[in-house]
Structure 1
Amino acid sequence: MNTTLSSFDAYAEQYQKSIANPEDFWSNIAADFKWRKKWDKVLEWDFHKAEVKWFVGGKLNITENCIDRHLPQRANQTAIIWEPNDPKDEAKHITYKELHEQVSKVGNMLRAQGVKKGDRVCIYMPMIPELAYAVLACARIGAVHSVVFAGFSAGSIADRIQDSGCSVVITSDGSFRGEKKLDLKSIVDEALEKCPTVKTAIVFQKLKLGVKMKAGRDLWWHEEIAKVSADCPPEEMDAEDMLFILYTSGSTGKPKGMVHTCGGYMVYINYTFRTAFQYRDGQVYWCTADLGWITGHSYILYGPLSAGGTTVIFEGIPSWPDMGRFWQAIERHKVNIFYTAPTAIRSLEKAPLSFVEKYDLSSLEVLGSVGEPINEEAWHWYNKNIGKEKCPIIDTWWQTETGGFMISPIANVTKLKPAHATLPLPGVQPAVMDENGKELTTNGVEGRLTIKFPWPSMARTIYGDHKRFFETYFSTFPGKYFTGDGCKRDEEGYYRITGRVDDIIIVSGHNMGTAEVESAIDEHHEVCETAVVGYPHDIKGQGIYAFVILYHPPKDEEKLRGEIKETVSKIIGPIAKPDKIQFVSGLPKTRSGKIMRRILRKVAEGDTSNLGDTTTLLDPAVVDEIKAGAL
C-alpha cells in the first residue's frame, strides 16, 4: 500500500477509511509483506479481558521481510551505516547482502548452542553492528530477544533475566561512551551469579580488555562464529508468536516485561515509519536512540529495514569529542531524516551556535522528536538552527507499550504546531476521558489519554503476568487502553501531551518508576524511608527529586548524598540517580499512611504558595519543615 500522502485531504481520507473499516485497512497494508501463509482472520479482540490478536493464523518471519525480500533489488544497497564512538575512526557501511550473511551466521551460532524457537536470549551490548546482528538473529531462528540497555546495573540485568528465564546472554567485553571505557563483561558476570537459567554467555571482543572467561559457560563470539555457515533458514513464526520482551519501569518496583509479537508489530512499525516521515527510497535515516529502548527496536531496526531503508547506528554520545558531534555525523553521511530526543536538543541548544554553523546540514529534509513532549523553546531552536525552517519536525507520541507512533504529524502534510504531537495516525482512535470515566468528545478539552480500538503493534501482555497487564492498562477506563498520560485537545483537534498522571518520571525520555528508585535508595543502610517525585529539569525534561528520612542525623550531608546516588547507580543504573536529595524528618502522609505526592511535587517544582488543605495530614507541621529545607 502506498503510504505517500500528497495532501492533508489525502490523510483525512485515509484516516476515515482506517476508522470506518480497520480490518480492511490493515489487511491491505499487510498484503505488501512476505507471508508464508496468509491469515485466516484479521482481528480478534476484547479490551475487557485485555486480549488482542492480529492476522490470526498468519505465518511469517520478520527477518525475511527486513532482509531476504530486499536482496533481489537491494543486495548492494547500504542497509546500516555504523558511526563509531570516535569520529576519527572509519564508519562502516553494511549492505543488505552483508547483513543477510552476518545475521544468518549469528543465527547458526545460537542454534549451535541449542537455542530454539521460543527460548529467551538476553542481549547486553554497546551500539555496534553486532548488536543489530544479534537482535535480528534471534528473530530469524524464532528466539525471543530481551535487549537490556548497556547502562543498566548487574541487579537490573539479573532481574530481567530471572523474570524472562533467559538461557543465553550475548554481551561484549566492554564499550566506549565518549572517553570512558566500560567493562560490560564484569557487570554481566555479577548478574549471572544470581541467574541459574543461563547456560551460555557469548562475548564479543571489542576492546580486548583481558576479561575473565568462565569455563563451561563463556564463549568468544569470534571463535564460535568461525565454526558456522551463512546458510540459516528462517524459522516459520505465527503472527502472534513472541518476537521480543522489552522491560519498562512500572509504578511498582518490579519492571514490566512488555511482550510484542511478530505479525502486527511488523506491519504497524513499517507503516508508521514510512507514513510519519514520508520515507522515500534512497534517503539516509538516523535515529539517535539506543537499541536498548523501544525506539531502537522499532525505528532503528525493524521499521527502516522492513522498508528497505538505510539506517544509521551511532555508538557515541552527542557531547564528545565536542558539542558538534551530531552535526558532524549528519554532514559525514548526508543524513536526510534526523530523529532525536528533546533532552539532546536542549543540551545542544546550550552550546555555542558555532558548533552547528561549521557543518553542512543541507541534506536534512525531515526532523523528528521522541521520548517526551518537546517544549516550545527547544522546538523553535531545532526548527531554526538545524532545520533552517525548511524541515518539518515530526513530534511523535508513543510508548514501549504501543510499539509504534500513535499521534504524530506527517512530514509536509500536517500543519505543525510547536510542542503538539498534532493528530492521530491512521488506525489510531484516541479518546480523552475525565477523571470520572466520561469521554470528552468536543475539542478544547483536557483529560486523560486513552485509546478505544486496538492497533496492530500494541503489547499483548506483561510477560508472565497478564493480570498486571489488565490492571495497569485496562482497568482504569473499562473497554479502553489507558496510556497513563494526560493531554489537551485544542480547538483544532490537535493533541498536546501534558505528562504522566501516574507514578512515572520521564528522565531524558526514559520511564523511571518512582517505586523502583525509592526501593533502590532504601537499600542504603542509613536510609529509613524515601519518597521520589519528578520536577522540571532544563536538560532532561524531568529530574528526580528524593525526600529521604534517615535513621540518624548525617555527619556529612554531601558525602551521604554521593553514597545514595552511587547505591541507585549500582542497583538500577546511572540514569536513575536522583538530581536532588533533601533530608527530612518526616513525609506528608494521610492518616491512613498514604504519601501526599501532590505536596512533594509542588515543593520540588518550587511552587509552595498553594499546597492545598494540609489539615487532614497525620502531621501537618512536616510540610513547613519540608518547605523550609527545599533545595
Structure 2
Amino acid sequence: MPENPTTEPTPGLENLLHETRSFPPDPRFAEQANAQAGLYDEAKADRLAFWERQARELVSWRTPFTETLDWSGAPVARWFADGTLNAAYNAVDRHVEAGHGDRVALHFEGEPGDTRTVTYADLQREVSRAANALAALGVTTGDRVVIYLPMLVESVVAMLACARLGAAHSVVFGGFSADALRSRIADAGATLVITADGGYRRGAPSALKPAVDEALEPRNGAEPTTVAHVLVVRRTGQDVAWTEGRDVWWHEALEAADVQHDPVWVEAEHPLFILYTSGTTGKPKGILHTTGGYLTQTAYTHRNVFDLKAETDVYWCTADIGWVTGHSYVVYGPLLNGATQVIYEGTPDSPHQGRWWEIVEKYKVSILYTAPTAIRTFMKWGEEIPDRFDLSSLRVLGSVGESINPEAWMWYRRVIGGGTAPIVDTWWQTETGAIMVSPLPGVTAAKPGSAQVPLPGIAAEVVDDEAHPVPDGGGGYLVLSEPWPSMLRGIWGDLERFKDTYWSRFPGIYFAGDGAKKDEDGDIWLLGRVDDVMNVSGHRLSTTEIESALVSHEYVAEAAVVGAADDTTGQAVVAFVILIGEFADRAADDAGADAVQTALRNHVARQIGAIAKPRKILVVPELPKTRSGKIMRRLLRDVAENRAVGDATTLADSSVMTLIASGLAKPSTSSED
C-alpha cells in the first residue's frame, strides 16, 4: 500500500460500479424477512444492549450472564463472561427438548452415492455416545482434540462431542500433509486424534490414516507426542496400519458407549476450538475462539444473513469443516438455529459436472452458500449443465471466501437463482469467527461485487494511514474499530504474536489485512489482501478489479492477477487466464496467442485504464487452487518473478504448477504502452 492510500483514486473502479446494476429488495421478500431495517437503528442506539438481546434470545444459558462485555484487557475481550453454557447442548439437546427431535438435522450425500438422514434426536444420541467414548479414552474438560476427517456425519458428531465435554477441538483439513498435521498436533498439545481410514474424492478412495501415523512417528530432536489415542472412522474399508493400545475403531468405541451423557457446563470464555491458519511467514497461527460470544454471533448472522426459516428451509453450505466457514456455517450456526441442512463429501464434478445441482433438486435446497471460485468453475463448464435441473427451490444465495467479481455475481443470480434470488456477498475471516460485512436480504439493495455494509452491531470502517475514515469514493484499509462477540481471543500460546499481527498497525483497532474502497454511496468494496493491492507507477490497482475486467471478456473463463517486481514501475501487472473452449483453440499457436492476449490487454485498458494493462498475460490450462478452492497467488507470483516455485503441497493438484512453470503458458509479446 502507498503512504497515502486516499490521494490516488483507484483507476477504473468507478467504471465497474457504473456498469453494474443495483437490485432493490423485493417487497414481497422484505415483508417476511427475519431482518428488518430497524436492526441497524437498534444496534446504533446501544450496541452492547443489541448484543445482549441476541445472546439471550438465540443462546440457552445454564447460568445467565450479568455482564455483556469486559474490554479492560484489550485486545483480549470477554463477552458474557459470567454466564455458563454448553455448545453441544445449544446445537442439539435444546431442539429435542423443544419437541423438534424428529426434524432432520443432516442430509448426508457421499460421493459414491451413499446417503444418510440424521434427525436431531439421532444426533443427540450419537453426540452423547461419542462424548462418552472420548471420556473413556481419557479426554476431559480443557483437553485439545485434533480432528482430521472428510466431510462426514461423524465429523460433525466429533466436533460436538468435544464441545459437550468442554474439550477444545482443532480441525485440520483432510488435504493437509503429515508435516502440517504434526505441527498442529504439537502446537495444540492434543491428547487424541480423530481420523478415518480415508475418504472419497473424484470416484476413488484416498487415504487419511497414513498421514496421522507419519505425523505421530517419533523424530530425532522433536518433542515426544502428547497423543495417547487415535480414534479411526471406517469409511472406505482400506487396509490401515494399526498400533495396538493407541488406535481404536470409532464404531467399536461408540457401540460400547452409553447413549446418555450430561453436558459439561463451561464459562462463556471457555475455549471452544483452535483453528490454524497459514501465515505468509512463520509457523501457522492457532486462532482461538471461545464459547458464548462465538455462538451468539454465528447464530445471529446465520439467521439474519440467510433469512433462515428453520421449519421450511433446507440449507447447504458447501464448505469443508476444515475451514472456519465449515465451523460457523455448517456446524454451529445452522444447528444452533435448528436448521435442516445438506452435507456432501466429494467434488462438484463427481460423478458428473451437475452433481451439486442434482443435490439441490433432490433435497429442494432453498439456501446455498458457496465460494466464487466454484461459481466461476460452473461458468466455465457452461450454463446448460445447471439448466438440466430444477433449481426453483433456491431462494437465497451466498458467496464466501474472496471477493466475487460482478460477472460471476450476475451469472450466479441469473442461472442459479432464477434471476430473483438475493445474493449475500459476505466478508469475514477465521479471526472474526462470523460474518461481519454483508447485505441483508429483504433490507439491502444488493450491488454485484460489493459486500456493502457492516452488519448491525459491527463497527467496520475504511481508513487511511493515520486511521482516519476515508470519504465516500476513497480507498484504504478495512478495520474493525469496536470489539465483536465472535472475535478471536488470541493466538494459541502466543499473546504477543496476536497483538503484533492484528493490533499493532493501528493501535486499539483491529486491522483485517484487506484493502477496501467505499463507493459514492458509502458501500464497501473489498480489494483483496493488502499484498494483492499493487502499486504501479504510484497508482493503487486491485487484483480483484483487473480479474473482474478480464473475466468480463467473452474469451475468459477464469483469471488470476498478481503484482511482479518491476525496476521501472515498482510493480507490474501479470495475469494468468483460462480461456473458454473455442477461444483456447485460437490461442494454440503463437500468432493466435498474441492476438488473444492483445485483445485482453486492450479490454482491460478500456475497462479500467491503460495503467492497468497487464505487462504479461499467460494462458494456462488451470490455476493453482487449494482443495478449499482458493487460488494460491503466492505461487503465481513466484512464476511471474522467475523464482523457484514455493511449497505447493496444499494444492488440490500440485501438477498444475509444473504445467505453468514449465512454459506451457505463453507470455504476451505485446509491448508496454
Q: List aligned pairs for 1:427-438, cutoff 5 A.
A: 427-438=457-468
Q: Does 1:24 align with 2:49?
A: yes
Q: Does 1:545 align with 2:628?
A: no
C-alpha distance in 2 between matches for 1:541 and 1:568: 12
C-alpha distance in 2 between matches for 1:534 and 1:263: 45
Equivalent residue of 2:242, what SS?
Answer: coil
Q: Give the aligned partner of residue 77 of structure 1.
A: 103
Runs of 4+ more than 6 Å apart: 7-10, 503-508, 575-578, 603-608
C-alpha distance in 1 between matches for 2:99 and 2:363: 22
Equivalent residue of 1:103, what SS?
Answer: helix
C-alpha distance in 2 between matches for 1:605 and 1:63: 56
TM value normalised by structure 1: 0.82
Answer yes or no: is the 8 Å Cα contact 2:532–2:543 preserved in 1: no
Q: Does 1:143 align with 2:167?
A: yes
C-alpha deviation, 1:547, in angstroms: 3.3
C-alpha distance in 1 between matches for 2:179 and 2:668: 31
Equivalent residue of 2:636, what SS?
Answer: strand
Q: Does 1:223 align with 2:230?
A: no
Q: Give the aligned partner of residue 620 of structure 1.
A: none
C-alpha distance in 1 between matches for 2:667 and 2:62: 55
Q: Give the aligned partner of residue 454 of structure 1.
A: 483
Assess, with a 3 A threshold, how the Cα gap between structure 1 residues 98 and 150 changes in structure 2: closer, same or farther.
same
Q: Does 1:380 align with 2:410?
A: yes
Identity of aligned residues (%): 44
C-alpha distance in 2 between matches for 1:605 and 1:454: 48
C-alpha distance in 2 between matches for 1:549 and 1:342: 24
C-alpha deviation, 1:166, in angstroms: 0.4
C-alpha deviation, 1:16, in angstroms: 2.7
Q: List aligned pairs for 1:312-331, cutoff 5 A.
A: 312-331=342-361
What code does the residue aligned with 2:82 have? Answer: G
Q: Does 1:237 align with 2:263?
A: no
C-alpha deviation, 1:412, in angstroms: 2.5
C-alpha distance in 2 between matches for 1:30 and 1:209: 45
Q: List aligned pairs for 1:24-43, cutoff 5 A.
A: 24-32=49-57, 33-43=59-69
Q: Does 1:66 align with 2:146?
A: no
C-alpha distance in 1 between matches for 2:530 and 2:203: 38
Q: Give the aligned partner of residue 568 of structure 1.
A: 648
Q: Give the aligned partner of residue 189 of structure 1.
A: 213
What code does the residue aligned with 1:120 have? Answer: R
TM value normalised by structure 2: 0.77
Q: List aligned pairs for 1:511-522, cutoff 5 A.
A: none
Assess, with a 3 A threshold, how the Cα gap between structure 1 residues 231 and 172 changes in structure 2: closer, same or farther.
same
Q: Give the aligned partner of residue 276 of structure 2.
A: 247
Assess, with a 3 A threshold, how the Cα gap between structure 1 residues 10 and 185 changes in structure 2: closer, same or farther.
closer
Q: Does 1:132 align with 2:156?
A: yes
Answer yes or no: is the 8 Å Cα contact 1:139–1:243 preserved in 2: yes
Assess, with a 3 A threshold, how the Cα gap between structure 1 residues 422 and 211 changes in structure 2: closer, same or farther.
same
Answer yes or no: is the 8 Å Cα contact 1:507–1:542 preserved in 2: no
What code does the residue aligned with 1:131 have? Answer: S
CA deviations on 1:174-201 (whole Å, 9 max, x unpaired) are 1101223211011111111156111100
Assess, with a 3 A threshold, how the Cα gap between structure 1 residues 485 and 209 changes in structure 2: closer, same or farther.
same
Count of residues in correspondence between the two structures: 549
Q: Which has the higher contact order (CA 8 A, sep 6+)?
A: 2
Aligned-residue CA RMSD in angstroms?
Answer: 3.1
Equivalent residue of 2:180, what SS?
Answer: helix
Answer yes or no: is the 8 Å Cα contact 1:546–1:582 preserved in 2: no
What code does the residue aligned with 1:51 have? Answer: V
C-alpha deviation, 1:10, in angstroms: 7.2
Answer yes or no: is the 8 Å Cα contact 2:34–2:307 preserved in 1: no
Answer yes or no: is the 8 Å Cα contact 1:104–1:137 preserved in 2: yes
Answer yes or no: is the 8 Å Cα contact 1:374–1:419 preserved in 2: yes
Q: Give the aligned partner of residue 590 of structure 1.
A: none
Assess, with a 3 A threshold, how the Cα gap between structure 1 residues 24 and 608 changes in structure 2: closer, same or farther.
farther
Q: Give the aligned partner of residue 173 of structure 1.
A: 197
C-alpha distance in 1 between matches for 2:315 and 2:505: 38
CA deviations on 1:92-138 (whole Å, 9 max, x unpaired) are 11000000000000000000001000100000001110011001100
Assess, with a 3 A threshold, how the Cα gap between structure 1 residues 358 and 478 changes in structure 2: closer, same or farther.
same
Assess, with a 3 A threshold, how the Cα gap between structure 1 residues 324 and 225 changes in structure 2: closer, same or farther.
same
C-alpha deviation, 1:449, in angstroms: 0.2
What code does the residue aligned with 1:497 have? Answer: L
Assess, with a 3 A threshold, how the Cα gap between structure 1 residues 231 and 7 changes in structure 2: closer, same or farther.
closer
C-alpha distance in 2 between matches for 1:535 and 1:249: 24
Equivalent residue of 1:158, what SS?
Answer: helix
C-alpha distance in 1 between matches for 2:669 and 2:146: 42
What code does the residue aligned with 1:36 have? Answer: R
What code does the residue aligned with 2:184 have? Answer: R
Equivalent residue of 1:568, what SS?
Answer: coil
Q: Give the aligned partner of residue 332 of structure 1.
A: 362
Assess, with a 3 A threshold, how the Cα gap between structure 1 residues 387 and 36 changes in structure 2: closer, same or farther.
same
Answer yes or no: is the 8 Å Cα contact 2:34–2:303 preserved in 1: no
Q: Does 1:160 align with 2:190?
A: no
Q: Give the aligned partner of residue 319 of structure 2.
A: 289
Q: List aligned pairs for 1:37-116, cutoff 5 A.
A: 37-46=63-72, 49-71=74-96, 72-86=98-112, 89-116=113-140
